[in-house]
Structure 1
Amino acid sequence: MSAYVSAFELFSIGVGPSSSHTVGPMRAALDFVNRLRAEGLLDSVGRVTCTLYGSLGATGIGHGTPDAVVAGLMGLEPETVDPEAVRSAWTAWPAGGELPLGGTRPIGFAKDDIAFEPRTRLPGHPNAMTLEAWTAPDAGRPRRAVTDAAAGLVRETGASRASAPAPAIADDTGLLLRETYYSVGGGFIRRDGEPPRVQSRGYRFDYGTAEELLALCDEHGLTIAELARMNEEALRDDEQIAAGLDAIWDAMATCVDAGLHADGVLPGMLQVKRRAGSIRSQLDEAEADGRRELPGEWLGAFALAVNEENAAGGRVVTAPTNGAAGILPAVAMYWWRFLADSGLGAGNAVTPYGELVGSALLGYDGHATPPDDGAAWDEASVSEANRRRGIRRFLLTATALGSLFKANASISGAEGGCQAEVGSACAMAAGGLTAVMGGTNRQIENAAEIAMEHHLGLTCDPVGGLVQIPCIERNAIAASTAVTAARLALRGDGSHYVSLDTVVETMRQTGIDMSHKYKETSEGGLAVNVIEC
């Protein structure tokens, strides 16, 4: 079975602040509505209830989980929804309000129709939720007041294990449909009881490890990006692939720009002040005065910008998660702005970037002859075209690497701690940067290994259950680590002692051994030692 996950699934456009706690639950609720519709049950629904288990129950309020569930029940999709429609959808729900189920069926809905069971963990995944549809407005469990202990940040330890509620359709209790879903990270969901997904989907190249990936590249004379591109061709044609990758990058760049031009205070009790806009103003002033500011300062600002937008519930791209969404765009923007016109060649000499992107698979070189299509051609357009091709190479390389983390370990903070989110994103960014700087396949694998190795054991302990402290700064630090890892790898020949596969397996084992207190429950670490004001 192939580890490969399409770039258009790994990098999905959605809303903040969490791919596993916001995007995933919204998709689960939407899938539930679609199943009601497919079974012909939608018009019979009088009430819908939802129970959030484990990490979803523990930090769901801070992550906007119940708001996302309400949005999904309304038929809204994370890819297209106006972020304003999600913010406070549940938090500010009016007493006696009607919910347009699937956008068409009005039903009564109350805030306590969503229940929180943080100390109950289902065996399928720490992020679990059960949705139930009932015929009558008063059917199902009794409504009860939503208290801080039930709905807020719950820190008690000693979680219990429970079996997932059995799926059901139309019984004599008034239950029409029951489904349990697992939000497994990166916005991906899995329905309880459904067979494991066959990942191949007709991909040309199946690989399960980094060693197999490198062997396939050697056998067929391909770069990692080229192999990923050929796999994408199983689902889309060349034009669609290029346009789709460009759309992903445009969404990332738009998010960076929005964060750099925003100010104020982020939502939540912590009252965290945005900083990216202030840093951008300082750097702009320095450049206007002729001072040369370090590109590394811009790198950090780019990452802060994305994660501040994410914390505010804005539109972001999972990369591979929302909590780690700032790393890859920051490193890519750093390359775009400061490095795109030069790179490190095979002999570690500086060479024009255009000489490194001549593959027809990744597009027209631009440094040879103008395209024969009558279009205007100048140096500016060539530079833009080369940057676009570079970003596609960056994203495809990162996809091939990120697929390994998802298949062989985890990209979910609730399952593997922050090493699974920020560590994976850092490795993907390091590999992508190495690729666009002219690195070999083995240098790319080396860069990813370096980046991941030094995030092993990283805990996920968000203060107040919010994706703010330490998450926002952590992305900036990891972006810097990714650049360092790429530069170290580029100064070597690709040979190294610890393999990427070894590090991925170590991350998996470490995640299993890690206490649940450090896996997105806010029951340990900074979350219990920082005083919330």
Structure 2
Amino acid sequence: MECISIFEMLKIGVGPSSSHTLGPWRAAERWLGELKQAGKFKKTRFVKVYVYGSLALTGKGHATDYAIMLGLSGADPEHIPVEDIHQTVARIKNEKTLSLAKELPLPFDPDIHIIFKREFLPFHANGMEFEAQFADGSVLSDTFYSIGGGFVVKEEQVYTSHNKKVFRRFPFPAQKGTELLAHCKEERQSISEIVLENERSLRSDEEIDAKLKRIWDTMLGCMYKGCHTEGNLPGGLKVRRRAYDLYFDLMTVQKTYNTPEEWLQSIRKTKVKFREILKWVSCFALGVNEVNASLGRVVTAPTNGSAGVIPAVLMYYMVIDNHKANFEHVKKFLLVAGEIGSIFKKGATISAAMGGCQAEIGVSSAMAAGALTELLGGSPEQVLIAAEIAMEHHLGLTCDPIAGLVQIPCIERNSMGAIKAINAAELALQTKPENIRVPLDKVVSTMWETAKDMSSKYKETSEGGLAVEVFLSDC
């Protein structure tokens, strides 16, 4: 039974893409670790990286080359000051030198040593081959795959070495929604309570709370930054940041805050009508993904491209629906969301390169819908009904980013996914489980079948859809 921690589904990293940025970054780190373990690290004289398939086709727009350089340099995507990213990359490019793992200076020119190859490797669309050349002329290479959400695997492995350490330890493992509901029924507990027991098999309550608090603080800080930053996004499309303008149009009280938490409290004082609710949710979602598009720090939920849905829906609950909401509500929300995301990962995919945008925005909307339903008092059955409704209406959604950038249509799709999640939760709360005809497990398997049938040009390759209908010259 595959056991995936919610902290694997909700990772802190740097934008714009979990599969094309965070994944290659982590792959580079892991490869360096294996070089050291093999006793080959200090003997290395040159390194090359070959990038394949979807990674190659949209890698420049997704900053895959940046991620590889930063990973090889030993920087940590969770903690690196984002303002240092461009400086570090510029230094490597200008000096044609890279300090491998911050220890071993090597000649390195990204135009020569990072090779983008359009062909696809058989195992997965996001393949990378790392090659080390040694003083005696010998060469050692290894291939990794970024399978979505920052997960990295080798072809001969089903799971990462980190995950192997935590498998078969969950007291309530669930591969499918039906298994999760069976645990809830047998234990007479909510989904969040079942998931919490699983997490307790890996870490203490204090560690769980600290990690969840850091995730929420990152989400809140990301929304705050997005709503207070104006101008155009980088990349050449000249996309105007919209969260800033939308936020200051919505804010009806005088600015009296200095921190993200004070900001949250100030929003609670605004007068909100139905139309403004839609705008607020969109504002939060847009803000997150505008930060993501500019190499900012976000939480993969379950991916970077869909990072705005869950924070926007949780923020909706905290500032619109329940002004008394506190960390305990945040905790329940994230526990449920992470579990729903893991069910989709086990039964289908969270990689747009494998399943199109249904695997990103669709999954994030399902995660948010189910989590919101529990906070609103829904039963475990209604939680999964909400997740099913949200995904059902994202089936077939393609991934066709213009110029390979995580901007159009990606940013707006997060606001759409958040609105759908809220609507799905409300519909689920009015639904009796015995009247349901499409259970969550059926929509998971349907999503996977749809993914396999989808043309590769709609799977994060920028070879179809908007990506070929709209050009940089049009913008």
- TM-score w.r.t. the length of structure 1 is 0.82
Q: Is the 8 A contact 1:18 1:322 kept in 2?
A: yes
1:333 and 2:296 are equivalent in the alignment: no
Q: Secondary structure at the match of 1:317?
A: strand
Aligned match for 1:397, one of 331, 336, 342: 336
Q: How far does the alpha carbon of each residue in 1:178-206 deviate from its partner, in whole angstroms, 9 at most, with x for none?
A: 11000000001002333546573401111
CA distance in 1, matches of 2:352, 2:98: 31
> For residue 446 of structure 1, what is the amino acid of its counterpart?
I
Change (3 A) 1:35 1:185: same
Change (3 A) 1:437 1:184: same
CA distance in 2, matches of 1:30, 1:519: 26
CA distance in 2, matches of 1:101, 1:456: 43
Deviation at 1:90, TM superposition (A): 4.9
Which structure has more helix as a fraction of its residues? Answer: 2
CA distance in 2, matches of 1:88, 1:426: 35
Q: Is the 8 A contact 1:286 1:292 kept in 2?
A: no
Deviation at 1:89, TM superposition (A): 5.2
Q: How far does the alpha carbon of each residue in 1:113-167 deviate from its partner, in whole angstroms, 9 at most, with x for none?
A: 000012x11122100000001125xxxxxxxxxxxxxxxxxxxxxxxxxxxxxxx
Aligned to 1:528: 468
Change (3 A) 1:243 1:286: closer
Aligned match for 2:410, one of 457, 468, 471: 471
Aligned pairs for 1:111-126 (under 5 A) are: 111=110, 112-118=112-118, 120-126=119-125
Aligned to 1:28: 27
CA distance in 2, matches of 1:318, 1:243: 17
Structure 2: segments with no counterpart, 5+ residues: 256-268
CA distance in 1, matches of 2:418, 2:217: 19
Change (3 A) 1:85 1:191: farther
> For residue 217 of structure 1, what is the amino acid of its counterpart?
C
Deviation at 1:267, TM superposition (A): 0.7
Aligned match for 1:179, one of 137, 142, 154: 142
Aligned to 1:12: 11
Q: Secondary structure at the match of 2:472?
A: coil
Q: Secondary structure at the match of 2:141?
A: strand
> For residue 390 of structure 1, what is the amino acid of its counterpart?
H
Aligned pairs for 1:306-385 (under 5 A) are: 306-341=288-323, 383=324
> For residue 45 of structure 1, what is the amino acid of its counterpart?
T
Q: Secondary structure at the match of 1:393?
A: helix
Aligned pairs for 1:107-506 (under 5 A) are: 107-111=106-110, 112-118=112-118, 120-136=119-135, 173-175=137-139, 177-194=140-157, 196=159, 198=164, 200-285=167-252, 292-293=272-273, 294-341=276-323, 383=324, 386-495=325-434, 496-506=436-446
Aligned to 1:512: 452
Deviation at 1:531, TM superposition (A): 2.5
Q: Is the 8 A contact 1:179 1:192 kept in 2?
A: no
CA distance in 1, matches of 2:23, 2:322: 35
Aligned to 2:100: 101
| Aligned residue pair count | 452
CA distance in 2, matches of 1:109, 1:275: 38
Change (3 A) 1:471 1:41: same
Q: Is the 8 A contact 1:67 1:88 kept in 2?
A: no
| CA RMSD of superposed structures (Å) | 1.8
Aligned to 1:352: none
Q: Is the 8 A contact 2:6 2:342 kept in 1?
A: no
Q: Secondary structure at the match of 2:127?
A: strand
Q: How far does the alpha carbon of each residue in 1:476-531 deviate from its partner, in whole angstroms, 9 at most, with x for none?
A: 01100000000011112233110100000000000001011000000000000012
Aligned to 2:58: 59
> For residue 55 of structure 1, what is the amino acid of its counterpart?
S
Aligned to 1:360: none
> For residue 114 of structure 1, what is the amino acid of its counterpart?
I
Structure 1: segments with no counterpart, 5+ residues: 137-171, 342-382
CA distance in 2, matches of 1:333, 1:290: 14
Deviation at 1:296, TM superposition (A): 2.0
Deviation at 1:240, TM superposition (A): 1.4
Deviation at 1:95, TM superposition (A): 4.9
CA distance in 1, matches of 2:241, 2:432: 41
Deviation at 1:319, TM superposition (A): 0.2
Q: Secondary structure at the match of 2:146?
A: strand
Q: Is the 8 A contact 1:22 1:63 kept in 2?
A: yes
CA distance in 1, matches of 2:147, 2:304: 13
Change (3 A) 1:29 1:290: closer
